[in-house]
Amino acid sequence: MIRQVKLANWRSHRNLTLDLEAGTTFIVAHNGVGKTSVILGMQWALFGDLAVENPEDHVTLGQDDPASASVTLLLPSGEELRVERTVAQATRPKPTFEPSLDGRAIDNEGTLRSLLRDSFQADPSALSSLCVLPEFVSRRQRRPSEDLLHRHLSEVLGVDKLEAAAEEAARVVKAAAKITRQIRNVDTLEHAERDRAGVRIGELENQLAAAEQHQQQLAADSARERELAATADQWRMFDEALQAAMERRSDLAAKLGSMTGRTVGPEGLDKELSAVERQFQVEADEAREQLGEARARLQLTETLLQQLHEAEGSCPVCLRSLEGAIAEEAASSHETRLTLLATEIEDGQESLERTAAALERVREIRMTVQQIPTPQPPAADRPEADAGALRERSASASERAEEAAAEVATIRHELALLQQRLTEDDDTREARQELRREFRREALAAATEDALRRTAEDIKKGRLEPLDVALRERWKRLMGAVERADDLVFGTQGPVLQVGSEQLGTARMSGAEQAIAETLTRMLVVTSTTACRFLWLDEPLEHLDPAHRRMFATMFIRAIEDGELDQVVITTYEEPLARRLRDVIPEAKLVYLAPS
């Protein structure tokens, strides 16, 4: 909701500060005092040039000082947004603005508009028209706000891209039609030829119905074949990846077999690796154990030999005296044993190193095997036919579908050609060929435009139904004092009165009907498709009779009580009317504007 509006040198106001609250507020002032100035100032401050294109034209006449407008707004998030804009006369620098969110500066206009879009879930250009309805004057031409309402609903309903594509197709139709108009002046058909063309048109219409049905069937077949071909390609890539993995595993299995002397296939590689690794690990452990024992025996023998030499003819164990020959024999025996143990240790060391190297190679093979990717099969079942055959079938189906589409386009082109201008002769063959091409282009573009627009309208019709129901109910409730045979519904461009099978746009409504229809529509659109919960209206009551004025004001009170809106601000120059409404609706507030 809007908490405050401040204006300085803006239109009728030299200096104005307007503090506002939630609920319904009537701003009362005579004509010319500045009710519309308040609304335009608030719009410009919040939406910039999206709402007011030439703000320099609104500087108070006779003032050299620049004009400024600021608005303080409570966002749905609970944060407070404040925007102040300043503009001088047309010959001065361009307008400036200073926005802030809870006291934090906002960088630029784009950031501000993104904040408004995210906060209110609608484009700011649409918000500037939806939540503010200035100058309820009965007009007989289309209003810019109706275009904004149409664009907003198209975006909300998800058909804006369809409509943009239809507009592009319409431009192609227009360009092609211009060329065909220039070419078909080359010559004309004889009367007899036109009679034959009429017969031909009937034949072509029958052919077109059959060709379109055939095209739809072929298009479905083509899509199915493309999907099968894509699935087959996925399976082919899976098979190739699996084959590559198996070949890599086979190479590693052969490498392992060369080490063990055993033949192993790629499927049993993991099991064989585990077995061989365990075998080599056991052999390495045994070699280490034997090597340790040999080294211990060597150390013991060296100790005994040293003790024998130190004993000087005595036994180092029992200390008995040994004869010289016996001592020499014992020393010789120890030395022989040392030689044998040294050889055993050397052989054991070499065996351990060989086993450890083999174990390292086995582990390297295991790491390589673990790094081989394991391809995952596609989710879809494997097609019975191979990928090549399916691609050929897909290409053939696509070609048939394209031929059918070309046939339909050709028939449509010939129909358009015959219906708009049938002119050919031998002397202007090149011109006739170009005409055929352009008519085909025009016909295809026209068919595309028609299909896109019909699709967009069907989507809008379906998705607007809940809003239509609500709009009818509120129209009947508000206009129920008068017996009426009409309904207010959403048309393709905005609110229309449905009378039987005929729809009346706002240009054919009375001033009162316009005011009520536009207010009901925008209030419903604002509350249903945006997060905006404030609505400002400029002099809507003046177009209504007393009974409808009270119901009109009560409608806003009810909307606020039901939580649909938080704030409604209505301007009026009829002070007695505002006071009577305030007496009937105590919740309403009156704010009087005095001349600056």
Give residue-wise pLDDT tens across range 298-323: 898 888 788 777 766 566 555 555 56
Average pLDDT over residues 113-129: 89
CATH number for the domain running over 2-138+510-592: 3.40.50.300
Element at 499 (helix H, strand E): strand 495-499
Q: Which residues contact 28 (CB under 8 A, 6 or more apart)?
A: 571, 572, 573, 574, 575, 578, 590, 591, 592, 593
* pLDDT at position 475: 78
Tell me how far apart the alpha carbons of residues 246 and 252 are, in angstroms, rounded to a whole number: 10
In the beta sheet, which residues pair with residue 261?
none
- Alpha-carbon distance of 79 to 60, in angstroms, equals 32
- DSSP state, 90? T
**Domain ranges, ordered by start, for the chain:** 2-138+510-592, 242-371
Count CB atoms within 10 A of the CB of residue 431: 18
Instruction: Give the pLDDT of residue 139.
Output: 41
Return the percent helix, strand and coil in the chain, to nearest 5. Answer: 65, 15, 25
46 pLDDT tier (thresholds 50, 70, 90): very high
Least confident of 109-113, 137-141, 192-196: 137-141
Per-residue pLDDT averaged across 243-253, rounded? 88
Kindly give, in sequence order, each residue whose CB lies less than 8 Å from that of residue 492, ignoring residues fewer than 6 positions away: 150, 457, 460
Q: Within 10 Å of residue 78's Cβ, how many Cβ atoms?
A: 7
pTM of the model: 0.49
Q: Are 512 and 545 in contact (CB under 8 A)?
A: yes
> How many beta carbons lie within 10 A of that of residue 72, not counting itself?
20
* Pairs from 369-373 (Cβ < 8 Å, separation ≥ 24): 369/249, 369/252, 369/269, 369/270, 369/273, 372/245, 372/248, 372/249, 373/241, 373/245
Q: What's phi and psi for 139, nearest 5 deg?
A: -120, 155
What is the distance between the alpha carbons of residues 68 and 7, in angstroms, rounded to a whole number? 6
Instruction: Report the range out of 333-347, 412-426, 464-478, 575-589 with the highest average pLDDT.
Output: 333-347
Q: How much is the mean pLDDT over the chain?
A: 78
HSE of 336, CA atoms in CB hemisphere, 13 A: 6
- Tens-digit pLDDT profile for residues 334-386: 788 888 988 988 888 998 888 888 889 988 988 988 888 888 998 888 888 77
Q: Assess whether pLDDT exceeds 90 at residue 115.
A: yes
- Confidence band for 533, pLDDT divided at 50, 70 and 90: very high
- Rounded distance, CA 83 to CA 124, Å? 14
CATH superfamily of 242-371: Helix hairpin bin (1.10.287.510)
Taking a C-beta distance cutoff of 8 angstroms, is the pair 260, 244 a contact?
no
What residues pair up with 567 in beta bridges, in sequence order? 23, 534
Q: Is the pLDDT of residue 174 over 60?
A: yes
Above pLDDT 70, what percent of the chain?
74
| Least confidently predicted of 56-60, 428-432, 517-521 | 428-432
| pLDDT computed for residue 554 by the predictor | 76
